Amino acid sequence: EAQVTQNPRYLITVTGKKLTVTCSQNMNHEYMSWYRQDPGLGLRQIYYSMNVEVTDKGDVPEGYKVSRKEKRNFPLILESPSPNQTSLYFCASSLTRAGDGYTFGSGTRLTVV
């Protein structure tokens, strides 16, 4: 089944403890992206990647890192999480440009206390 898989689905962590949210797609998509969803703010892009080793900032990149060493994987790294990063995170992928339409993962609900 074609899908984007995120892990974990739920995570509660403490301020400052480094964490990684994994994202993997099995559709050979070139384009991958991370979004956060917050009430009243909709979906905001954190980082995106147009292909292996090609990443760029979205609208809200502060406090996050990404890497794209393989085509299928696009992990999101929070080096020192803070409470304002409590959010619902989505990974998405697209065959090429965003105009093709995204396939989204099921989401990761992160709580930083």
Partner 1 sequence: GDSVTQMEGPVTLSEEAFLTINCTYTATGYPSLFWYVQYPGEGLQLLLKATKADDKGSNKGFEATYRKETTSFHLEKGSVQVSDSAVYFCALSDRGSARQLTFGSGTQLTVLP
Binding-site ranges for partner 1 (CB under 8 A): 4, 31, 33, 40-43, 45, 48, 50, 56, 58-59, 90, 92, 96-99, 101-107
DSSP 99: G
Partners of 94 in beta bridges: 31
Strands 65-66 and 76-78, bridge-based pairing: antiparallel
Residue whose C-alpha is closest to residue 80's, from 106, 62, 104: 62
Query: Smallest distance from the beta carbon of 2 to partner 1, in angstroms?
Result: 12
CB 17, min distance to partner 1, A: 26
Query: Of the two residues 17 and 57, which places its CB atom closer to partner 1 in the complex?
Result: 57
Compare residues 69 and 101 and give the one whose CB is closer to partner 1. Answer: 101
